[in-house]
Amino acid sequence: MKHEPPIFFHLKLVAKISLAIGAIALLALLIALTLITDQSGDTYSAIVQLQYLKSENLGKVMLLAGLVLVTLTSLVTWLIALYSKFRIAGPLHHFSQNLRLATVDESATLLNLRTGNSLRQEANMIKQTVLSVRAYHAAVSAAARQAADALAAADASGYTQAVARLRTLDEKVRL
């Protein structure tokens, strides 16, 4: 089994569904033409009458075939949207919830994706980013506390070290 990115799986699925809908449309056209076509027409009046029946029924048959195809296409589109919602929208909702939790509470446990959801690599990257930001905030808080303690104790050397550490941490986040 080849390892392909998930986008290729989805594109192949959409291509297969499109091909199936096209085949069904072709089949509906052939059935419609078969229903309105009759091979009995030996005389001129029979041929004229056959043409009249064809033109009279063609609109009805094509309307029926069109309604069936639109209904089928709508159903398949809805199923694709439902499938995509569970595989894509679910993880995006988890991402937003994780970011909200990370901003509200430093000790909040981040949510995990369900088995089978897409965007697992992105979820791991967001978790790693949140953990890195939490570690950065903890380091900045510790350095600020160290600077405040050194200032309160009138320790110039400790204060200088704490400010240097704060500057180093500040340099990490500059873009």
- The structure tokens listed for 68 are 């069936």
In a domain, 32, yes or no: yes
In a domain, 79, yes or no: yes
Question: Shortest CA distance to 91 belongs to which of 57, 138, 124?
Answer: 124
In a domain, 71, yes or no: yes
In a domain, 166, yes or no: no
Domain that holds residue 44: 1-87
For the chain, how big is the Rg over CA atoms in Å?
34
In a domain, 83, yes or no: yes
In a domain, 15, yes or no: yes
Q: Would you give per-residue pLDDT tens digits along the chain (175 residues)?
A: 455 555 555 667 777 877 888 888 888 778 777 766 655 556 666 666 666 667 777 777 778 878 888 888 888 888 877 777 777 777 888 888 888 887 887 777 777 777 766 777 888 888 888 888 888 888 999 999 998 998 888 888 988 998 899 888 888 876 5
